Structure 1
């Protein structure tokens, strides 16, 4: 019976230590990627504004959001025409959201706005203008969106028609569907090449008026080419935003969440691999694991850390995107904190606990208790990881120390709360077990401290030996009046620390001092 209990306890100890490492990695990753996640969440919020048609943070309303545009009436007799026109409006809103989301990620304070949304409804020249951080319109930033034609050739034909002459004459930047842009550019180059041949032919025939007319068309095409812009929206994107704005919005937030997840996965893999590598190196040195086992465990932990970081960052970004445009100010305030990441982290970390309960390995009460402990520990781990990195500005080390301290303190506090509730029923055996575990924890701490000291001693031994020998030589040289010997000892220390020496003997020093040229150390 005792052997079974001892075996069970050993498994529990390993599980607890593993959880501490996983939680520390999670805390460090959340702290390290907090800004990136918040930025991607803020970018996602732009798509929520585009969908809802209202920015709850600034209290400003759009002329029409994607949801309202999707409710526009359609005449059955002109269904295709109506949908295409309405999709053009959706494209303007979608273009604004995507452009501003990208600027947020680049930390660019300027924004792109629809003229309709700033009171310039049906502006004669511009669909969009850009504003600075103070909301002032940036001169020369106006642009017009033209989602016209069924293909690039038809699109160019319409752009060059008399209907759009006012835009060409005013040198207005014209944005065309992203899937049309390259094709329109090719059509322009082809038309210019054909017209050049016609100009040469007209000149040879002496038809100067015709040549002048063709040259004017060439100049018009070239000016259009120069003012052509590639939209961030395709024809299919625009139509999807018109017909299914919820799906369109979800796709954009998914892309941002995925990008944040990939960034976090890379970061998490680096942190997880470093921590696990150090941990397994110690285990290999102790003889508790073979090198192959250590490598396998490191690879497994690294992969798990990357996956966990991806899920956490993805979920946090999506949550922040929605929370940032919530109607309740309290929810919007929470979206600017690390709370969303902590909630997702808790869910990810608790997945293993839930799996154990589903497989009958732990009871329902134990499952709830462990989940509560995990959630509390993760919150503190993330906070302490940030604090630790600030107090110990060494990459990974500060975060690791802080994360571990946060986890340990949180676990201790949670354990104290649980103990207070059960104090009346706590048996003598339970108290003995807790005391024994505390003693083992202290022993572990002492062991790790000893190992760290040994590592430091080995690392610094080379420098210590060099310094001792150099100081000894300097002392002897001073005793016998050997100036050159004293300099050689001092120069040995300088070179060991990566410095450069200016002289190696008193003669060189004297020559340097008498040199009229100034010198710098």
Structure 2
């Protein structure tokens, strides 16, 4: 029995760890919709970028003139469509491993650009020349008698001279693309037919006019491109931005779950086959029993893989768009997957206890040798130390000392989150299982302990933040004092040293350590100033 339990733990842990790349990729990709909702931009490292554009939330709060309600809503839905286009294209690029990103021109601070609504940026954030596009969500007219559709965007491109200013593709609603192309072709053919008839009658001027118009419609059809957005989605985002964003994140989570399930099938299958082949060779199982065990074990692992990928990517999306830079950086580690894996294991243990499969002692062994509180503390402490060291080594400008501080912060935050997970799983077990009274009381006790732990970590979290602010305040006061002394005593070395000390405190290593190094820099014609 002990061996079986160990195998299960190995499979669950392996499943969680093996999905980290999927969780990171899909979590960042799906966060694009939350970024669109909030009106923020965050890169893959969790660093916030400057953004001057609209947000889905902001657009949803635009005023409506009751006399022009439909027109106002359609215009505002067009603004929402621009933001969804960015989110969806960037989501796709991240999943494909494409480092280019799409941005609205407004988002780059180029407000009311008459040429482009969107541009593509290279991996360094520079606009790629010739990448600009214009988005047009115009009305499609339907003939009440024939039911035939005419596409305003095609007619405008072909006939409206004011549209000659656009030197780029025109993106139109996704569902209109095929119809618009067919309409342009139809108008091309009908005008070519008119040109032919005019030529047969000897009317060369009319023939030339119809031919030019035919060519204009042909070009119009070539210039339209399908957007990633439908008119229905754009209106939904305008009217219900929160619901729209949640649906898109959940859709992305489902895709992450499917990919993770496929990946888990390979990983868990290989582990299970290896374990069972050994069991067959050692005489512990026959071939039929081993084959059945491979199928059962792999099937369970695939289900776990789906949950880990879906839930982990959602947690990553939320962490990636947090207002706290530390939480965003934490989201780039294995923590999202660890939280989900921990939740699965906690839920499994509580369910087994509720069913009577394990006793109280075995329950606490599975949750942690010293009980729920120590389990949360140990989990958070070890994770905090590990993640703090990781951040200290990989984030530019953050040394070991700062990494340790960050580790403490993360440990506290993880304790807060994990105690919340334990409480939720305990409540889920109580509501979903038929439980003997004695066991019910024990699970309720676990839930109560989890609440107390949650409050304790919350207080630690707040205290930690206050201490950090106080420390920074003292550093700034000391810095200003030292700078003043350097200026008033004409001590430039002291002045530069003070600035360097302050820079180090905030994670920056400045270029000049003293006046001598500055003089050398000024005399060296080949030196480059590092900003």
Tell me, yes or no, whether TM beats 0.5. Answer: yes
Query: Distance in 1 between the 2:262 and 2:274 partners?
Result: 18
Query: Distance in 1 between the 2:164 and 2:7 partners?
Result: 63
Q: How big is the shift at 1:100?
A: 1.1
Alignment pair present for 1:67 and 2:67? no
What is aligned with 1:391? none
Look up the SS of the partner of 1:275 in the other structure.
helix
Query: Distance in 1 between the 2:356 and 2:243 partners?
Result: 39
Alignment pair present for 1:89 and 2:79? yes
What is aligned with 1:479? none
Question: Paired residue for 2:152, among 157, 171, 190?
Answer: 157
Alignment pair present for 1:144 and 2:134? yes
Look up the SS of the partner of 1:309 in the other structure.
helix
Q: Deviations over 1:352-404 (max 9, x none)?
A: 21111222444556434412379879999xx9xxxxxxxxxxxxxxxxxxxxx
Query: Distance in 2 between the 1:276 and 1:377 partners?
Result: 27
Q: Which has the higher contact order (CA 8 A, sep 6+)?
A: 1
Query: Distance in 2 between the 1:346 and 1:316 partners?
Result: 11
Q: Do the aligned residues in 2 keep the contact of 1:168 with 1:220 (CA within 8 Å)? A: no
Question: Paired residue for 2:40, among 43, 54, 65?
Answer: 54
What is aligned with 1:99? 89
What is aligned with 1:216? 212
Query: Distance in 1 between the 2:165 and 2:230 partners?
Result: 26
Look up the SS of the partner of 2:48 in the other structure.
coil
1:39-50 alignment runs, 5 A limit: 39-50=25-36
Compared with structure 1, are the counterparts of its residues 112 and 25 closer, same or farther at alpha carbon in structure 2 (3 Å cutoff)?
same
Name the Cα RMSD after superposition: 2.5
Query: Distance in 2 between the 1:316 and 1:164 partners?
Result: 50
Look up the SS of the partner of 1:201 in the other structure.
helix
Query: Distance in 2 between the 1:119 and 1:159 partners?
Result: 30
The answer to which of 22-31 and 224-233 deviates more is: 22-31
1:272-421 alignment runs, 5 A limit: 272-363=268-359, 366-372=362-368
Q: How big is the shift at 1:314?
A: 0.8
Query: Distance in 2 between the 1:206 and 1:234 partners?
Result: 47
The normalised TM-score by structure 1 is 0.66
Gap regions ≥5 residues in structure 2: 143-147, 370-374, 387-531
Compared with structure 1, are the counterparts of its residues 343 and 129 closer, same or farther at alpha carbon in structure 2 (3 Å cutoff)?
same
Query: Distance in 2 between the 1:252 and 1:372 partners?
Result: 37
Q: How big is the shift at 1:208?
A: 1.4
Look up the SS of the partner of 1:130 in the other structure.
strand
Compared with structure 1, are the counterparts of its residues 235 and 344 closer, same or farther at alpha carbon in structure 2 (3 Å cutoff)?
same
Q: Do the aligned residues in 2 keep the contact of 1:125 with 1:167 (CA within 8 Å)? A: no
Aligned length: 367
Compared with structure 1, are the counterparts of its residues 106 and 164 closer, same or farther at alpha carbon in structure 2 (3 Å cutoff)?
farther
Look up the SS of the partner of 1:109 in the other structure.
coil
Query: Distance in 2 between the 1:192 and 1:119 partners?
Result: 40
Query: Distance in 2 between the 1:243 and 1:21 partners?
Result: 50
Q: Deviations over 1:427-459 (max 9, x none)?
A: xxxxxxxxxxxxxxxxxxxxxxxxxxxxxxxxx
